Structure 1
Amino acid sequence: MNDLPSEPGTDAGPFGRPLFNDPSARALARVGVVDVGSNSVRLVVFDGAARSPAYFYNEKIMCALGAGLSETGILSPEGRRRALAALRRFKALADSMGVSPLTVVATAAVREAQDGEEFRQEVLAETGLKIWVIDGEEEARLSAQGVLLGWPGAYGLVCDIGGSSLELAEIRDGRVGRRQTSPLGPLKLREVRGGKAGRKVHIKATLEAMQEKMGPQRDRLFLVGGSWRAIARIDMERRNYPLHVLHEYRMDAKAIRDTVSFIEEADLGALRQACSLSEARMALVPLAAEVLKRLVSTFRPKDIAISSYGIREGMLYEQMPQKLRDRDPLIESAHFAEAKDARLPGFGMVLNDFVLPLFRSSPEELKRLIRASCLLHDVSWRAHPDYRAEVTFDYATRANLGGLKHWERIFLGLALLHRYRNKREGSPYERLFALLPEDRQQKAEILGKAMRLGSMFWMQAEARGAELRWFPKKRELELRLTPDAAPLFGEVVEARLKSLSTALSAASTRVVYLKA
């Protein structure tokens, strides 16, 4: 069963309206999506940057609609009651937020249950919400598109695990290729006969059959779904990993093996509390871990990344014109934040031009982070001055910013911390600095101190009153000032220039006053 249009744009689709009428627009009008899964029912309300939507509201209720489905052929009566109550609540919330119409999509449990259609009609009668049911391959495609929303140009294999099913999809060159679906969700595995030994045989045979159809998939493995995220959180606990941001968290085959063994030997109650997991989620983790261990040994990916983006984000990506898809989600988020929260929107790119001479030979991946840092340099100005450094660091490392590796989050956060503070010693986030190599820590400090200096020449957004020049062979730093900017050079500016010079290990520093 698949209720979604086979081609984008063939009708109004599940959103009931086009979301991106203007491909040049930066802001997304608020939109709500409900995912009725086999294990949970979740409402997400998106807002913010069009290319990198943020979570205005996010609530999940573990309903276990698919519990016992293999044996009974119907939805769990208790799960059905809880799911209906959740949908009533979500409809009321959406109405109060002005999010209309609310889009509801259902996956394996509703599409497979004998009473799935009856449940849809009950929901429609009581809430007015139409549930769109998608088949397994469409679920795989939308999950893969969710990954593309977070990783432009990503390539590899996407694996989405739900309560009752597991989907695979390959992505390459911005497109979704072959897709497969299977009954390897933890709720289904509970019902496999023969205990752990029986499950092992079943999982192995199913994944090998999927591999035969998918072909070699030795690139990156992207993991989508709550059970995978729970395992990643346990991996963080095992490793004492300091940055608890699941999106873009990386593991390898050895880490998976070690964490599966860690789960098998652990007191699950204590582990659940340490990792802040719900009882319902933790109950499924050992089953999902069995699948993940076999998945990795079957496909042997080069590395493994956790994606917080899935079906819901894939539905937004589906509606994006190519011009919008081609934009950088990080830079779009930063532009959006600057326009919304900075005191002088537009000055970020002036600041970028000011600091860039210090990084002329840097690779594009670093220049991208520099651009984002400059756009975000003033968005936390409302925080108390004594805490701005920590507030900006926390924002960069934990905010919903797409297209960021973990080390890039730390770089961005450290640069913004130095925008407000000369020294990073004594910060409550010192443990996180170790995730960034020493040479990049130094570059982040230089960038932060350059932004700290450049922010003193706060003129009109279009003005070019001050210019930095850096001569790396001679290690000479030069600050050039136009007549309009000259009056802005005072004691505080001089101190910040000296601090930047020290960070650069400059042999000499001079100020040049330009004539009109």
Structure 2
Amino acid sequence: MSRGKPGGRFGIVDIGSNSVRLVVYAGAERNPVLVFNEKVMAGLGRALGSTGRLDPKGIERALDALRRFMALREQIGVPTLVAAATAAVRDAEDGPEFLARAEKICGFPIDLLSGADEARLSAQGVLSGIPEAEGLVGDLGGGSLELVPVAGGKPGPGATLPIGPLRLMDLAHGSLAEAEAVVDRALGEHDWLRNIQGNRFYAVGGVWRNLARIHMAHRDYPIHVLHQYTIPARDAADIARLIEKLGPKSLAQIPDVSERRVEALPFGALVLDKVIAAMKAKEVVISAYGLREGILFDRLNKKEQAKDPLIAGCRDLAGRLARFPQHGSEFFKWTAPLFGDGVLGETEAEARLRRAGCILADIGWYVHPDYRAHHAMMQILLAPFSGVDHAGRLFLARVGYHRHEGKGEPQMFGNIAGLIGERDHERALVLGLALRLAFTLSGATMGMLPKTKLEAGKNTLTLVVPKRHEPLIGEIVAKRLGALARAIGRKGDIRIGR
């Protein structure tokens, strides 16, 4: 599938039924860092349902896009490039002819994915970004819908249904009523959907992301990150039905709807409504990861695949922004006594978030002191992380804020504070205050912190410092130790050791 030397930037050309896209990542790694992304709405599959052939104008738009993408490959410098074609090219009678022309432009073979491969890779992409996903993945492209059950970190046997919005519009002659009958027939052929009733539905695809943006706007939701944005199934169905009723002019006036998606949106909404009903979904979780991320994940070695995507993402960001990216390991060990039994305690999931917060502790250092707290908070809140839900993002953002600001309360958190419970608010404050103390004590340098330790007793929190480092103890250290001790209901104390 790939052509080029290993290492360096990694690119994917995705030839879909509606769009043709070039995505370039910094490398083929567990945390894919996007460096370039361009999409052309070619509409290859616009008339496929009625003619069995690719749209003539779409063909030329797609080939023009590929010519530009190959020039961009040289300009950007992408040693390894993957190209894959999906439903429209796979199903069209003139697909082989188009593929031959496209391969001539690219200069290497293009993988024509089978329906089973497309479904598997889409599900693998979702799992790479949401490893704990349990339920049903649905990837809605212009020409098809891939449905794949996922559980235990692995995709199950899935299905490809010919009910992408472009194909639906063509088959139903633009009539939603006719499209509804087509969707009902297609879903009715898959009785196995009953076996996953009551689970989450993981939605992939541009049309469904637009529906999520509408829901965000309706809620005045301030975290504008679509990945792992969760919508109650009833809300998702209500929005889908509303969109089905609106005409193109009304849809075009919605600020959060892409102009390029207006025509397809009602048909995509119809499919979502029907899938929710068929599997009696409890929630719809938006995944920004799908086919392309699945292709990338498939290329990684076992060691890289096994990495935690959140921790990998935090390390990548810290590597770019922090003074000492390795500091996170020292912080994680040093803060452990605060989260042991008899103090705050922590689950395995909570320890994972604490580790992430420790890795990100220094990403705001280069900003003006008056703005560090809010800058660190926003960097974390809006970072392109995967493997973390919105509640986890908010926890980490609060840690970043308290690490710089102390006990203060960030003003913008007022309307989303309810996303995390009181326990997580407390844990974020304590971790932030501990990191604040750690930086002060160590002078923001490596190697000093492990020579000291925290001891949490029943009534006191003791900072133990070796005799030779006693001069490092000063007013600011004592003050910040006191603030941390009060946060866990104790009195601060300093003991000079040997």
Q: Which of 116, 127, 150 in structure 2 is aligned with 1:148?
A: 127
What residue identity is the alignment partner of 1:460?
M
What residue identity is the alignment partner of 2:229?
Y
Partner of 1:16: 3
Partner of 1:513: 496
Q: Which of 185, 210, 228 in structure 2 is aligned with 1:205?
A: 185
Measured in 1, the distance between the counterparts of 2:281 and 2:412 equals 36
> Please, what TM-score do these two structures have when normalized by structure 2?
0.92
User: In structure 2, do the counterparts of structure 1 residues 271 and 451 end up closer, same or farther at CA, with 3 Å as the change threshold?
Assistant: farther
CA contact (8 A) 1:373 1:412 kept: yes
Q: Which of 449, 461, 464 in structure 1 is aligned with 2:450?
A: 464
Partner of 1:442: 426
User: In structure 2, do the counterparts of structure 1 residues 424 and 116 end up closer, same or farther at CA, with 3 Å as the change threshold?
Assistant: farther
Partner of 1:64: 43
Measured in 2, the distance between the counterparts of 1:254 and 1:144 equals 24
Name the stretch that deviates more: 228-237 or 118-127.
118-127
| Alpha-carbon offset, residue 264 of structure 1 | 4.0
User: In structure 2, do the counterparts of structure 1 residues 426 and 336 end up closer, same or farther at CA, with 3 Å as the change threshold?
Assistant: closer
Q: Which aligned pairs between 1:358-437 and structure 2 lie closer than 5 A?
A: 358-360=338-340, 361-425=345-409, 427-437=411-421
Measured in 2, the distance between the counterparts of 1:330 and 1:15 equals 26
> Please, what TM-score do these two structures have when normalized by structure 1?
0.89
Q: Which aligned pairs between 1:150-299 and structure 2 lie closer than 5 A?
A: 150-193=129-172, 195-210=175-190, 212-213=191-192, 216-218=195-197, 219-264=199-244, 269=249, 272=252, 274-299=254-279
What residue identity is the alignment partner of 1:514?
G
Measured in 1, the distance between the counterparts of 2:486 and 2:271 equals 53
Structure 2: gaps of 5 or more residues: none
Name the stretch that deviates more: 170-179 or 183-192.
170-179
| Alpha-carbon offset, residue 32 of structure 1 | 0.4
Name the stretch that deviates more: 432-441 or 105-114.
432-441
Measured in 1, the distance between the counterparts of 2:392 and 2:283 equals 18
Instruction: Describe the superposition over 1:279-324 as per-residue Cα deviations: whole angstroms up to 9, x where unpaired.
Output: 1212211111111111111111333211111111111221223333
| Alpha-carbon offset, residue 244 of structure 1 | 1.5
Q: Does 1:44 align with 2:23?
A: yes
Measured in 1, the distance between the counterparts of 2:319 and 2:349 equals 23
CA contact (8 A) 2:231 2:284 kept: yes
CA contact (8 A) 2:401 2:410 kept: no
| Alpha-carbon offset, residue 362 of structure 1 | 0.9
Measured in 2, the distance between the counterparts of 1:362 and 1:272 equals 48
CA contact (8 A) 2:122 2:294 kept: yes
Structure 1: gaps of 5 or more residues: 1-13, 20-27
| Alpha-carbon offset, residue 60 of structure 1 | 1.8
Name the stretch that deviates more: 396-405 or 314-323.
314-323
Measured in 1, the distance between the counterparts of 2:286 and 2:214 equals 13
User: In structure 2, do the counterparts of structure 1 residues 145 and 288 end up closer, same or farther at CA, with 3 Å as the change threshold?
Assistant: same
Q: Which of 321, 324, 336 in structure 2 is aligned with 1:344?
A: 324
Q: Which aligned pairs between 1:115-154 and structure 2 lie closer than 5 A?
A: 115-154=94-133
Measured in 2, the distance between the counterparts of 1:48 and 1:409 equals 24
Partner of 1:504: 488
Give the % identical residues: 38
CA contact (8 A) 1:238 1:259 kept: no
User: In structure 2, do the counterparts of structure 1 residues 116 and 335 end up closer, same or farther at CA, with 3 Å as the change threshold?
Assistant: same
Q: Does 1:307 align with 2:293?
A: no
| Alpha-carbon offset, residue 267 of structure 1 | 6.9
Q: Which aligned pairs between 1:82-93 and structure 2 lie closer than 5 A?
A: 82-93=61-72
CA contact (8 A) 1:370 1:447 kept: yes
Measured in 2, the distance between the counterparts of 1:32 and 1:282 equals 29
Measured in 2, the distance between the counterparts of 1:424 and 1:352 equals 23
